[in-house]
């Protein structure tokens, strides 16, 4: 399968679903990671043009850790808009991948760039298969299933499906660690350790899912998007508790 994850900023995908993407790669699927904005407003101690270069480099290094193909869209940070022109850019980007599955932010996420990325994806996705909407790449030949990834901190997000990422949690953290510019800014400004955030949320979702570490997702339910099979990856590690080995 072709798997496409779309985030608003460099590091969003790594925080929310890198463990799942790494599972897809391990199972032989093609994974693409697209970032809408260049993240150039993300630090107080680096000028925007320089920060955009840094964050693109960090993103590409993170994709290499996961084994994903990077797609850098380069919109200005904090100023993403849901316009017809931008919608068509998203259409063409998705057509270039021809995905079986798309993963993006939820509609109620905390950041406007996250919410607008969701809206652009949701509005563009049905257009990818329309023959008379012309972009650089040809139309896809199917309607694509859309999944929403967790919110930062797991706030106000109720997963309907889980992926056991116990096998890939260290890959997830190694990919996130490539975003050094953001690790230090979160610690400096908010005393937040992003690596600890993904570890803690991963454990919490794991408690919900019946495994050590998990990532949570919600499938967008819409007509003609339903499937009779699971598209999210299955883990090689048992996801249920073995009561026979429980200590008394």
Among 136, 39, 59, 58, which residue's Cα sits nearest to residue 93? 136
The predicted pLDDT at position 50 comes to 96
Domain span at residue 80 reads: 2-245
**pLDDT (tens digit, 9 = 90+) per residue, 192-232?**
999 999 999 999 999 999 999 999 999 998 877 767 788 99
Residue 53 binned pLDDT confidence (cut-offs 50, 70, 90): very high
**Three-class secondary structure of residue 101 per DSSP:** strand
Distance, CA of 204 to CA of 154 (rounded, Å) = 9
Residue 243 has pLDDT above 90, yes or no: no
Q: If 0-12 CB within 10 Å is exposed, 13-18 middle and 19+ buried, where does residue 100 land?
A: middle
Neighbours of 138 (CB within 10 A): 12
**pLDDT (tens digit, 9 = 90+) per residue, 114-150?**
999 999 999 999 999 999 999 999 999 888 899 999 9
**pLDDT (tens digit, 9 = 90+) per residue, 180-202?**
999 999 999 889 999 999 999 99
Q: What is the CATH number of the domain that holds 173?
A: 3.40.50.10320
To the question of pTM greater than 0.85 for the whole model, the response is yes
Q: How many domains does the chain have?
A: 1
- Tokens representing 57 are 């480099």
Residue ranges in 4-45 assigned as alpha helix (H): 12-26
The predicted pLDDT at position 236 comes to 52
């Amino acid at each position: 399968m072709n798997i496409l994850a779309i985030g608003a900023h460099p590091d969003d995908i790594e925080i929310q679903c890198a463990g799942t993407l790494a599972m897809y790669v391990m199972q032989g699927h093609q994974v693409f990671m697209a970032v809408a904005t260049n993240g150039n407003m993300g630090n107080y101690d680096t000028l925007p043009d320089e920060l955009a270069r840094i964050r693109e480099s960090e993103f590409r290094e993170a994709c290499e850790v996961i084994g994903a193909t990077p797609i850098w869209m380069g919109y200005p940070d904090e100023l993403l808009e849901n316009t017809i022109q931008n919608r068509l850019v998203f259409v063409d980007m998705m057509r270039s991948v021809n995905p079986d599955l798309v993963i993006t932010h939820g509609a109620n996420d905390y950041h406007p760039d996250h919410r607008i990325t969701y809206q652009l994806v949701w509005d563009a996705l049905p257009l990818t298969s329309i023959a008379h909407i012309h972009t650089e790449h040809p139309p896809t030949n199917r309607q694509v299933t859309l999944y929403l990834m967790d919110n930062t901190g797991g706030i106000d997000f109720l997963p309907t499906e889980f992926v056991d990422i116990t096998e890939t949690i260290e890959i997830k953290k190694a990919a996130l660690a490539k975003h050094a510019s953001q690790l230090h800014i979160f610690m400096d400004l908010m005393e937040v350790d992003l690596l600890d955030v993904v570890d803690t949320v991963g454990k919490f979702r794991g408690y919900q899912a019946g495994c050590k570490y998990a990532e949570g997702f919600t499938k967008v339910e819409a007509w003609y998007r339903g499937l009779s099979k699971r598209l999210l990856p299955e883990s090689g590690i048992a996801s249920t508790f073995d009561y026979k080995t429980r200590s008394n």
